[in-house]
Homo-oligomer: A and B are copies of this chain.
Amino acid sequence: MTAFSTLAEAIAHNVHDGDRIALEGFTHLIPFAAGHEIIRQGRRDLTLVRMTPDIVYDQLIGMGCASKLIFSWAGNPGAGSLHRFRDAVERAIPSPLAIEEHSHAGMATRYATSASGLPFGILRGYAGTDLPSVTENVRFVTCPFTGESLAAVPALDLDVGIICAQQADHDGNVMLWGITGVQKETVLSARRSIVLVEEIVDKFTPRVNGVVLPSWVVGTVVECPSGSFPSYAQDYSERANDFYAFWEPISRDRERFLAWMDAHVLGTATNSEFIASLQTTDFEVARG
């Protein structure tokens, strides 16, 4: 049965040093607030998994929480590089970051494979690229019917899967809609799961492209409005595209990054405080 808790409790109980965790979201419904709380609680040695690590992963890496990243595309979409990620990979700042990289198709296969309880999945992929030469986790298998060679990737073996969704009900059922990405697979791939929701409702209203996760596969639900900011929750918020641009120069300069994290993440106790802290900064000034 689903537990309900605060974000701080959910992270404290579920995310441990050395865990392999995914905070997923494909542009939409990215659990920024959970990443911030992991930083506040000072987790170390995490293996971070995500198809599209973006700003929140840059923050986790820059703050020294991660020792490994498993991913397929690491950038600040529409804005530039992940400078903290680059500093870690190019110059081991603040510490070395092991990387294991895949294609999106490979990572999506790994999520579906894990959700399916299989040890590996197959795809037409990776052939002719240098990716298999830099990881042990891309191999090739032969079709037992046609003799064709296909790429194989292993299940993800996640300790914790963290996502945002729009709603939960009082029984702990979760509903999300819009771009659903690999949100369902992240919960179904993980031993423990945390779902941040915009609100808890009495009853779901059916939605186009609605995905419902029944309570008995959901670990912990946290009511956390704007938990995806600057990402968005369809029908609750718009993507703060300007924040992604705003972040670029901050992330580029490690001292400025640390000062910003100190003021807005370490210096706040909850996501509401984090959101409120932005009101008083250059970010809101720039927004006008």
Contacts and interface: CB of A to CB of B under 8 A. Distances in A.
Interface of A: 117-124, 137, 139-141, 143-146, 148, 150, 152, 154, 206-210
A131 to B, nearest CB: 16
A208 B205 CA distance: 9
A141 B139 contact: no
Contact of A139 (B120, B124, B145, B208): B145
Chain A binding surface, main DSSP class: loop
A21 B97 CA distance: 52
A140 B154 CA distance: 17
A145 B122 contact: no
A122 B144 CA distance: 11
A118 to B, nearest CB: 6
A150 B208 contact: no
Given A144-B139, A145-B152, A208-B206, A124 B117 contact: yes
Contacts of A140: 144
A41 B119 CA distance: 47
26 contacts: A117-B124, A118-B122, A118-B124, A118-B150, A119-B145, A119-B146, A119-B148, A119-B150, A120-B122, A120-B143, A120-B144, A120-B145, A120-B146, A121-B122, A122-B122, A137-B145, A139-B144, A141-B141, A141-B144, A143-B152, A144-B152, A145-B152, A146-B154, A206-B208, A208-B210, A209-B210
Which 7 A-B residue pairings sit nearest by Cβ, starting from the closest? A206-B208, A145-B154, A139-B144, A119-B146, A119-B143, A120-B143, A144-B152
Nearest to A147: B119
A276 to B, nearest CB: 36
A209 B206 CA distance: 9
Contacts of A208: 206-207, 210
A214 to B, nearest CB: 14
A149 to B, nearest CB: 10
Contacts of A143: 119-120, 152
